Each structure stands twice: as structure tokens, then as C-alpha cells.
Amino acid sequence: MVQYTDLDSSFAALSDATRRGVLEQLGRADASITELAGKFHMTLTGMKKHVGVLEQAGLVTTQKAGRVRTCKLGLRGLEEEAAWIERHRLLWDARFNELDKVVEELKRKEKADAPKNRE
Amino acid sequence: MVQYTDLDSSFAALSDATRRGVLEQLGRADASITELAGKFHMTLTGMKKHVGVLEQAGLVTTQKAGRVRTCKLGLRGLEEEAAWIERHRLLWDARFNELDKVVEELKRKEKADAPKNRE
């Protein structure tokens, strides 16, 4: 069973362009908070906040060695999030296919009725 | 190019269990605000707020006929969101495969060095 609180925190973490950018960056290489702050033109405090949100959601882990805090991708790989979205897309497709069928049915009826109208 | 503001609003919309529930419900059948409020044990005002967030993100559309506002799934089917998550998962897999390789390499070296240590 999907844990809804997990989905809450991960989707909230993904709802910010900087945080998505940090995940993309860490997908290429680990980075320190200072490097990330520089890359995204932010203050250290601002970046620490964003990394904190990603860490809370389990999407990033950090480790401090001396004065440097290194960030890397966390152990969660967004499987549950992908599964939820995929499930929604299937429902969405089904709903719109249903609508298509209704439209087709209406068209067919119109066609069948057309000769009568001409009489 | 992905529009980041769209992803911001849709991921934010998905970060709440009730709003995800509403999307699942509308995936099965259209529903009025009143029906949704009843189903999720909420006030009309609370449900209107949630539907508003989903509407802003393009995930739901609403239509008023008389006193009843009917909600249905919007035209956006979370394709961009699915694509972003998929891209992240590929990066994530690649990072962890890289780590696996480093561990394998270390194991190989240890094995190769082992006979020398015994001499």
C-alpha cells in the first residue's frame, strides 16, 4: 500500500524548480551545499532550506566532513510517485476514450437519423 | 521545453492526499463539489479550495449548471510530470549503477591484492 504521507512530501519537494534542478544536478554528480548555492545563485541559507525539504522527503542524503556538507541522491528513486502518476494516466486515458465513444455514438445516430430528416 | 511553472503547480496540486483522491474519483466518474465534499468528509468551502488548486494546475475543469458545479478531469494528463520523473529515475539508476561499479572494482582489487598479502 502506498504511504500517502510520503507522496505528500515528495510531490511537495518536486513542486519547486530549484529543488528539481538540485535533483538533476545530483543525478550527474554529488555536490556540496556551497557548490549548489553557487550554481543556483542562492544564499547558503536558502539552499540549505531547499536541501532540507529534499532530505525530509528522502530524495537527498547529506553527509558532513569537516566544514563541508556533501549532498547526494537519496535511496528513494520516485518509484511510488511514478506508479501513482501512471495509474492516473490510465484512468485519464480511459475517461477520454469513453468520451470519444459517446461522441462516435452521437455521430452514428445523427447519420442514421439523417435520411429521416430529409423525408 | 518543459514549462517549469506548470510542473510547480501540478506537483503542488499532487502533494495533498485529498486532491489525489479527488483526481482518482474523477477518473472513475464526474462529480459535483457537493458529492466530492461528502465523499471526503469536508466542508463545501474546503472542497472548493482543493478543486480550485486542481483547476489552476489544469488537472480538473468545472462547469456550473444552475446551482450545481460539476468537476471533471482536465485536458492535462500528467505527461510532463511523468516525463520528468522518468528522466530523474534514469539518472538515479545511472548514479547507483556507478556506485555498484566502484564497489565491484574495490572488491576485484582486494581479491587481486590478497595473495600478495599472504606472501
Q: Band the pLDDT of B3: cuts 50, 70, 90.
A: very low
Residue type, A63: Q
Using alpha carbons, select from A63, A84, A64 the residue that is nearest to residue A73: A63
ipTM exceeds 0.85, yes or no: no
Mutate to test the interface with A, among B5, B19, B60, B91 (most CBs of A within 10 A): B91
| CA gap A74, A26 in Å, rounded | 10
- Over range B88-99, report the average pLDDT: 84
* Helices of type H across chain A: 4-14, 17-28, 33-39, 44-56, 79-118
User: pLDDT digits over B31-77, tens only?
Assistant: 999 999 999 999 999 999 999 999 999 999 999 999 999 999 998 88
pTM of the complete model: 0.81
What strands, in cross-sheet order, belong to the sheet with B31-32?
Answer: B31-32, B68-73, B60-65
B17: closest chain A residue by CA:
A4
User: pLDDT digits over A28-69, tens only?
Assistant: 999 999 999 999 999 999 999 999 999 999 999 999 999 999
